[in-house]
Amino acid sequence: VVGALEDVKAQDVSIIDVRGRTSVTDYMVLACGTSNRHVKSLADSVLSEAKEQGVRASNVEGANASDWILVDLGDVVVHVMMPATREFYDLERLWRDAPDLG
């Protein structure tokens, strides 16, 4: 996933290990794009790489809005967003402060 993002020049890539904190996924990958078109290209690159690896995305959200696209690959959920959207929602802080529910 990170390689697919880096191939299309993703910015500020971050991986968050959420195992033991949620049953939804094991890892969240966050990345920024420089424009709505770039965000869409990053998400498309992740989907293409996943397909090549035999992984099917169970869900893609926000592909029409393109300021935040979520790609759910099961064990990995990828959030690709514009920098202002990422700063506003601050998912890193949200998960850093989450209690260990496991």
> Residue 101's pLDDT is what?
33
Tens of pLDDT along 14-50? 888 888 888 899 999 999 999 999 999 999 999 999 9
> Residue 99's pLDDT is what?
38
Share of the chain above pLDDT 70, in %: 94
* Total length of the chain: 102
- 58 vs 77, residue with greater confidence: 77
Read off the pTM.
0.89
Q: Please state, in angstroms and rounded to a whole number, the distance separating the CA atoms of residues 31 and 82.
A: 8
Q: Please state, in angstroms and rounded to a whole number, the distance separating the CA atoms of residues 56 and 92.
A: 26
Q: For 48-56, what is the mean pLDDT?
A: 94
**How far is Cα of residue 35 from the mean position of the Cα atoms in its chain?**
16
